Amino acid sequence: EATMGPAARQLVEEHKLDAATIKGTGKGGRVTKEDVLTHLREAPKAT
Protein backbone atom coordinates (compact mmCIF):
# COMPACT_ATOMS: atom_id res chain seq x y z
CA GLU A 1 0.00 0.00 0.00
CA ALA A 2 1.32 3.43 -0.98
CA THR A 3 2.16 5.86 1.84
CA MET A 4 0.68 9.27 1.20
CA GLY A 5 0.38 12.65 2.81
CA PRO A 6 -3.06 14.13 3.40
CA ALA A 7 -3.20 16.27 0.23
CA ALA A 8 -2.26 13.31 -1.98
CA ARG A 9 -4.84 11.15 -0.19
CA GLN A 10 -7.54 13.72 -0.83
CA LEU A 11 -6.70 14.00 -4.54
CA VAL A 12 -6.68 10.21 -4.93
CA GLU A 13 -10.09 10.05 -3.27
CA GLU A 14 -11.45 12.93 -5.36
CA HIS A 15 -10.32 11.42 -8.68
CA LYS A 16 -11.02 7.83 -7.62
CA LEU A 17 -7.49 6.77 -8.51
CA ASP A 18 -5.71 3.53 -7.70
CA ALA A 19 -2.90 4.76 -5.47
CA ALA A 20 -0.80 1.70 -6.31
CA THR A 21 -0.49 2.89 -9.93
CA ILE A 22 1.02 6.25 -8.96
CA LYS A 23 4.78 6.58 -8.89
CA GLY A 24 5.92 8.05 -5.59
CA THR A 25 8.97 10.32 -5.61
CA GLY A 26 8.84 11.36 -1.95
CA LYS A 27 10.98 10.05 0.91
CA GLY A 28 10.81 6.24 0.99
CA GLY A 29 8.66 6.12 -2.16
CA ARG A 30 5.95 8.29 -0.64
CA VAL A 31 3.34 9.63 -3.06
CA THR A 32 3.27 13.42 -2.86
CA LYS A 33 0.55 15.77 -4.03
CA GLU A 34 2.94 16.67 -6.84
CA ASP A 35 3.08 13.00 -7.91
CA VAL A 36 -0.71 12.73 -8.07
CA LEU A 37 -0.93 15.93 -10.12
CA THR A 38 1.71 14.60 -12.52
CA HIS A 39 -0.18 11.29 -12.74
CA LEU A 40 -3.43 13.13 -13.52
CA ARG A 41 -1.73 15.24 -16.19
CA GLU A 42 -0.15 12.24 -17.89
CA ALA A 43 -3.26 10.02 -17.78
CA PRO A 44 -6.13 12.53 -17.71
CA LYS A 45 -9.02 10.18 -18.52
CA ALA A 46 -7.81 6.91 -17.06
CA THR A 47 -11.12 5.84 -15.52
Distance CA 42, CA 1 (A): 22
Among 5, 13, 23, 43, binds another protein (CB under 8 A): 5
Query: Quick one: CA dihedral 14, 21, 40, 26, positive or negative?
Result: positive
The least distance separating another protein from the CB of residue 24, rounded to whole angstroms, comes to: 9
Distance CA 3, CA 47 (A): 22
Among 15, 37, 43, 46, binds another protein (CB under 8 A): 37
The least distance separating another protein from the CB of residue 39, rounded to whole angstroms, comes to: 12
Contacting residues toward another protein, per CB under 8 A: 5-8, 10, 25-27, 30, 32-34, 37
